[in-house]
Amino acid sequence: MIREVLKMGDPRLLLQARPLEQFDTPELHTLLADMRDTMAHLSGAGLAAPQIGVDLQVVIFGVEKNERYPQAEEVPDTVLINPVLTPLSDELEEDWEGCLSVPGLRGMVPRHVSLRYRGFDEKGKRIDRSVSGFHARVVQHECDHLLGILYPMRIRDFSKFGFIQALFPGEEVLDE
């Protein structure tokens, strides 16, 4: 079921999410189905449970190779629960981000270039990956939602924050 995505300003987006305690339950599978439906409906690259008002440490993300956006790196479809992120270097890289909770806007956000992430899938199976680039950026963005952090809170140069249509006139840019 497609759910309403909370918008920046809603205090529920600023909460620290609780760890999930029971895996592979009907409630979890329903939550994930709703998250997938909502993300697909809005053509998002990721979604965190708090964005649909569910206060749990559950995120999904994934980016398919897309001929319209050949520069976008592929990210495997992933369910990540109770994540722990460890940067693999101090190196930061700035790039554009958007968010389904901040519609119509883009900002230039510094993120760790590479990191290790650990957690669990919906069955409780361990996930342990070391990634870099766009994959690492997506993970950091989604897991920030579990800490009550939205990407504008990470922006350092506010001259690189604005409306998509004003920042990229004439370009075809995914809405989110």
Q: Whose Cβ is closer to Ni ion: residue 56's or residue 99's?
A: 99
Query: With CB under 5 A, what is the number of residues at the site for Ni ion?
Result: 1
**Which stretch in 67-75, 94-102, 128-136, 157-165 sits in contact with Ni ion by CB under 5 A?**
94-102
Burial of 133 (0-12, 13-18, 19+ CB in 10 A): middle
Shortest CB 133 distance to Ni ion, Å: 18
Q: How far is the CB of 61 from Ni ion (least distance, A)?
A: 10
Q: Is 99 in the site for Ni ion (CB under 5 A)?
A: yes
Compare residues 42 and 167 and give the one whose CB is closer to Ni ion.
42
**Of the listed pieces 6-14, 23-31, 99-107, 157-165, which binds Ni ion according to CB under 5 A?**
99-107
Is 142 one of the catalytic residues?
yes
Angle at 62 between CA 39 and CA 128, to 5 degrees: 130
Q: Which of 122, 142, 171, 176 is catalytic?
A: 142
Name the residues that contact Ni ion, by CB under 5 A.
99
Catalytic residues: 142
